[in-house]
């Protein structure tokens, strides 16, 4: 059940004036956290529970001022999964649910152990993202969030990197089949969005942009600036492989230098974005140093592009994120607020009732504020710095793909 509505003045005011119609939708089912690889695995499902609770406690989804509708996940059958995945692989996932591993297909590995609901729980995540896509495409509410989604490493015939079914590739395929002419995909996870890129490598209708830590220092070891798409789709795969240790201002500068010019030139009908919170500086599995407030600023940038270039159609998803209490819930609650056009004061306190939930479920102190402060950066228009390693990566990417879109890499 949703959290009770908050009395005015008792908790931080994250929402704007009450709205008669929702501004965004949030795909949710109480069994989404059953995507669970076990207590020793870094992808702890409680991160989803804490995110939904924070979204509720902030009043985004409940009460007279709610601006976000909660929608159910869609039904998923093998035909939908097979728009991206091989049927033999789907059968192997079903067998894994009965206890039969298939390491050759990534099922039963250290990264992606098998468990008793591996097919059904993975399919529910697909259902959440497809429900969000359907809402964006077919209803007047053109923003939607699928925090359980973002399983961007899953390949047509194999699980990888904690990901079994590639919900975002399936959602993009659904949008194309429903009539979208072009879809722009923006991946802000610390890891390369290799599975989505692979799914559309040869498809000129899909622009995939991945801003990630270089494969030289991080899984999956792919996603270089020179990887730009297959024959007939040159320039539609875009990769910005950042050096380990890149901080928020440089990261956001890289996003701003590449994503807006390309999305504007591509003229998509929909923007789909992945907001893995594992780019945060505290994440135990990655080496980027991106603050919550830089992540929120990037979400605001994507929201602005959707309004400008895609008739305001925007599907945002979660993804990685292994600082389970301190980062993921705040990052994705802020993403949900941005999707609803609601400002977030990083200095505002987190709701007391949410802090109680954290203490009860995780037995650790909860963060005291919604953000960390900051979010500043120097725009690319101020000029290229040849001594800056991030600027050199950005220019390499611009050189690799901008000409294919009629853009000057140096402007």
* HSE of 205, CA atoms in CB hemisphere, 13 A: 14
Query: Which phi and psi angles does 222 have, rounded to 5°?
Result: -130, -175
Q: What is the mean pLDDT of residues 45-71?
A: 95
Dist. CA 234–CA 232, nearest whole Å: 6
Mean pLDDT in residue range 103-108: 98
Q: pLDDT (tens digit, 9 = 90+) per residue, 4-42? A: 333 333 344 444 434 447 999 999 999 999 999 999 999
* Whether residue 68 has a cis bond before it, omega within 30° of 0: no
How far is residue 139's CA from residue 315's CA, in Å, rounded to a whole number? 13
Give 26's contacts (C-beta < 8 A, 6+ positions apart): 55, 60, 61, 68, 69, 70, 71, 144, 145, 147, 336
CA-based max dimension of the chain: 58
Residue predicted with more confidence, 114 or 12: 114
Helical packing angle, 328-339 and 46-57, nearest 10°:
50
Does the pLDDT of residue 223 top 70, yes or no? yes
Look at residue 6 in the predicted model and tell me its pLDDT.
33
In the prediction, which pLDDT does 373 show? Answer: 87
What local confidence, expressed as pLDDT, does residue 374 receive?
A: 83
Q: What rounded mean pLDDT belongs to the chain?
A: 94
Per-residue pLDDT tens over the stretch 244-276:
999 999 999 999 999 999 999 999 999 999 999
Taking residues 304-323, report their average pLDDT.
98
Q: How far apart are the C-alpha atoms of 292 and 280, rounded to whole Å?
A: 7
Provide the pLDDT for residue 14. Answer: 46
| DSSP state for residue 405 in the 8-state scheme | G
Alpha carbons 311 and 316: distance in angstroms, whole number: 15
Query: What integer pLDDT is reported at residue 355 of this predicted model?
Result: 98
Section 55-81 average pLDDT: 94
Lowest mean pLDDT among 10-14, 92-96, 146-150, 200-204: 10-14
For residue 209, what is the DSSP state?
E
pLDDT the model gives residue 21: 76
pLDDT digits (tens, 9 = 90+) for 175-196: 999 999 999 999 999 999 999 9
Instruction: Tell me which H or E stretch contains 316.
Output: strand 314-317
347 touches 72 (CB < 8 A): no
**pLDDT digit string, tens, across residues 316-352:** 999 999 999 999 999 999 999 999 999 999 999 999 9
Closest CA to 303 of 272, 347, 268, 267: 272
Q: What is the mean pLDDT of residues 202-222?
A: 98
Nearest Cα to 393, choosing from 191, 258, 221?
258
**pLDDT of 83:** 98
CA 285, 287, 288, 293 torsion-angle sign: positive
The predicted structure's pLDDT at residue 157 = 98
271 phi/psi in degrees, rounded to 5: -110, 130
pLDDT given at position 137: 98
In whole angstroms, give the CA distance from residue 292 to residue 334: 9
Domains of the chain, start order: 24-405 (3.40.800.20)
């Amino acid at each position: 059940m949703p959290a009770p509505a908050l009395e005015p003045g008792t908790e931080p005011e994250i929402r704007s004036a009450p709205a008669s119609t929702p501004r965004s939708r949030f795909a949710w089912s109480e069994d989404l956290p059953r995507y669970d690889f076990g207590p020793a695995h870094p992808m702890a499902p409680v991160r989803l529970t804490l995110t939904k609770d924070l979204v509720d406690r902030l009043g985004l989804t409940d009460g007279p001022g709610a601006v976000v509708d909660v929608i159910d996940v869609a039904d998923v059958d093998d035909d939908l999964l097979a728009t991206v995945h091989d049927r033999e692989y789907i059968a192997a996932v079903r067998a894994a649910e009965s206890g039969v591993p298939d390491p050759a297909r990534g099922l039963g590995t250290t990264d992606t152990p098998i468990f008793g609901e591996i097919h059904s729980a993975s399919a529910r995540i697909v259902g959440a993202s497809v429900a969000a896509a359907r809402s964006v495409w077919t209803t007047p509410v053109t923003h939607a969030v699928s925090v359980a989604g973002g399983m961007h490493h899953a390949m047509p015939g194999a699980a990888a990197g904690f990901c079994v079914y590639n919900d975002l590739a399936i959602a993009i395929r659904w949008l194309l089949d429903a009539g979208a002419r072009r879809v722009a995909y923006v991946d802000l996870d610390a890891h390369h969005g290799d599975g989505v890129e692979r799914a559309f490598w040869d498809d000129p209708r899909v622009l995939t942009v991945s801003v990630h830590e270089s494969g030289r220092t991080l899984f999956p070891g792919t996603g270089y600036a020179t990887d730009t798409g297959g024959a007939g789709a040159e320039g539609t795969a875009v990769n910005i492989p950042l050096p380990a240790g890149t901080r928020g201002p440089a990261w956001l500068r890289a996003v701003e230098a590449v994503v807006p010019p390309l999305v504007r030139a591509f003229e998509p009908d929909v923007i789909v974005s992945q907001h893995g919170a594992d780019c945060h500086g505290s994440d135990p599995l990655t080496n980027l140093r991106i603050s919550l407030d830089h992540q929120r600023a990037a979400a605001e940038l994507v929201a602005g592009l959707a309004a400008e270039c895609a008739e305001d159609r925007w599907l945002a998803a979660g993804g990685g994120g292994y600082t389970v209490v301190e980062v993921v819930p705040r990052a994705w609650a802020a993403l949900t607020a941005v999707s609803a056009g609601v400002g977030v004061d990083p200095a505002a306190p987190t709701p007391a009732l949410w802090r109680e939930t954290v203490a009860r479920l995780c037995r650790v102190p909860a963060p005291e504020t919604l953000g960390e402060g900051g979010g500043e950066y120097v725009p690319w228009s101020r000029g290229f710095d040849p001594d800056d390693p991030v600027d050199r990566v950005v220019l390499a990417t611009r050189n690799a793909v901008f000409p294919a879109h009629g853009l000057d890499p140096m402007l």
